[in-house]
Amino acid sequence: MKQVKKSERVAVKRQYECLYIIENTVNEEKRKELIDKFSKMAGSDCKIEKWGMKKFATPINYKKDGFYVLMNFTSLPEVPKKIADLMNITEGIVRYMFVNKEGVKVNPKRKEAPRKEKIENPTEGETA
């Protein structure tokens, strides 16, 4: 098998999803700045969904709630690593998670065969 040099490799863009939580103590202006900063790093085809303030199931760093943001984007494989590195050192980010959406297949609901109902105790006039 022929070895391909790193410089000869073709860059392939992939679809990613990032869910991150901003601390509840961060004011609205700073929150917008953080969202803009991360979306600019993700690229021009970045879609942002602001889920708003939500309560945590269990406290995280002694906090009970945070502002959830979902970011969908297409980029080169090294971009999520760069964004994650920045999120690690950014004050105000509680948690984050990246998912590579390529290869994720959603199974459609199985179609069940129609059920044949059996009458166990027929009443008068009915026969099984």
Q: What is the pLDDT of residues 35-85, one digit of tens each?
A: 999 999 998 889 999 999 999 999 998 999 999 999 999 999 899 999 999
- In this prediction the pTM is 0.71
Q: What is the mean pLDDT of residues 1-21?
A: 78
**C-alpha pair distances (Å), 7 with each of 22, 78, 81:** 38, 15, 20
108 occurs within a structural domain: no
CATH number of the domain enclosing 32: 3.30.70.60
What pLDDT band is residue 32 in, cutting at 50, 70 and 90? Answer: very high
Domain that holds residue 46: 13-100
Number of domains within the chain: 1
117 in a structural domain: no
Asked if residue 120 belongs to a domain, the reply is no
Helix (H) or strand (E) holding 84: helix 78-89
Instruction: Report if residue 56 sits inside a domain.
Output: yes
pLDDT attached to residue 6: 63
